[in-house]
Structure 1
């Protein structure tokens, strides 16, 4: 089964009807009045910390170029060894962590 992910939400007929009912006809020649902003937003310390962390992560490279180059050299010269036991243990430990 596959699902298309397009970032949009489907609009049901009920939502279309409700949206149309709340709209008032506005003439383009009628002056508009400004409405003072009533909403406000206050971030908690935790939210501010998360925002700062997100900025740090977005500024960081996605991978360690030095480590990639070292692995590439080891693969090319045949010195890179794969330890199946370590991989299996890491997978089992990850599974244990997921199970809680």
Structure 2
């Protein structure tokens, strides 16, 4: 069985993407989107509202330890975490 090769250039891919995007925009316009509004927020504004999720004191202490060279990396803890993640992924895969 022979698999035929397809020469698909980047320009053709971009052209297809532009046509698909243009078609989608036209179909949305045609669907009566005159009464719709869209509000976009910057990512920085989104991050400000959930600032309590980050322990800034801990972040600053880690930065200081990195600067002065006193930060110690526990390679055993990292390895345990990686193995645990691998086990979880394998168990999730076997359930499927």
Q: TM-score over 0.5 for the alignment?
A: no
Please tell me whether Structure 1 or Structure 2 has the larger radius of gyration of its CA atoms.
1
Q: TM-score range by the shorter chain?
A: 0.3 to 0.5
Higher normalized helix content (fraction of residues): 2
Q: TM-score, normalised by structure 1?
A: 0.39
Q: TM-score, normalised by structure 2?
A: 0.40
